[in-house]
Structure 1
Amino acid sequence: MSLNYQIFPDRGLVVITYIGRAEIEETGRVFAQFAQHPDAAPGQKHLIDLSQVTEVEQDFPRLMALQARKAGELGLPIMPSMLVYFCPTPIARRMAEMVYKSWDGVGGPALAMIEDEAEALALVGCAETRIAELKRRVAED
């Protein structure tokens, strides 16, 4: 699996991209790195791009443990205001639903599962209609 994130501090936005098999251990490791990044800040909106996910690790108890850890020791200082899951495929939708359920009772941010890329971007406050366009525009600024 490939998992990466880009922080756009001027927009109050983090774009997280999953490619291939989504694994819980790597998610935890990358989130821990993100939590230590100097541009990570509380209240940022997170756009999670699941459009390239091909498989999802199905271990709900481990996922729940990770969510509790993210909301607790790692996440409190950088808790996002919103998590928007861009999930245009059936596999991506299943992953988003699983993660969505794992936030139940954790007291985390507002959540949304969106199948349309432009709508997902609009929800996090972007005028761009494609994630690639957002990344290109921010790089040019």
Structure 2
Amino acid sequence: MSDTLTAFAEYASHPEFRPGQKQLVDLTELTGWDEDYVQLMQAQAQKAEAFTGQNAQTLIVYLAPTLVGQKLARIALRSWEPFPAVVPMVQESEQPALSILGIPHDSISQLLSRTA
């Protein structure tokens, strides 16, 4: 969770960050997590503050093909319930996740190779 908090702080302070940017949270490689619910809620609170500014609506797609990823994604989904400006979804495979976000690629590796 500390890595998540650090990465999000860097993202939120980036000059190109804007509320309302679509989010892809790739949980594909997740093998476990420390189940520190206090830190998880702290991370979600920081994200909520950033995502709900300027009357923006933020779409978040959690890519969760594994059981552990799906468990964490379900917890995250519940944490967004009080925030109607955040629209979270869970997908089990890359192509539908990217499609929902309006990204015309079939895989994350294809997306990254085309933008690099």
Report TM bin, short chain: 0.7 to 0.9
Q: Distance in 2 between the 1:97 and 1:134 partners?
A: 26
Q: Which has the higher strand share?
A: 1
Give the alignment partner of residue 122 of structure 1, picking from 99, 111, 114.
Answer: 99
Unpaired runs of 5+ residues, structure 2, are none
Displacement, 1:61? 2.9
Amino acid of the structure 2 residue aligned with 1:97: R
Moved more, 100-109 or 48-57: 100-109
| Structure 2 equivalent of residue 47 of structure 1 | 24
Two-structure CA RMSD over aligned residues (Å): 1.9
Runs of at least 4 residues of structure 1 off by over 3 A?
A: 74-80
TM-score, scaled to structure 2: 0.86
- How many residues are matched? 115
SS at match of 2:78: helix
What is the correspondence of 1:1-141 to structure 2 with a 5 Å cutoff? 24-72=1-49, 74-77=50-53, 81-139=58-116
Displacement, 1:49? 0.8
SS at match of 2:90: strand
Unpaired runs of 5+ residues, structure 1, are 1-23
**What percentage of aligned pairs have identical amino acids?**
32
Q: Distance in 2 between the 1:124 and 1:107 partners?
A: 18
SS at match of 1:58: coil
Displacement, 1:62? 2.7
SS at match of 2:35: coil
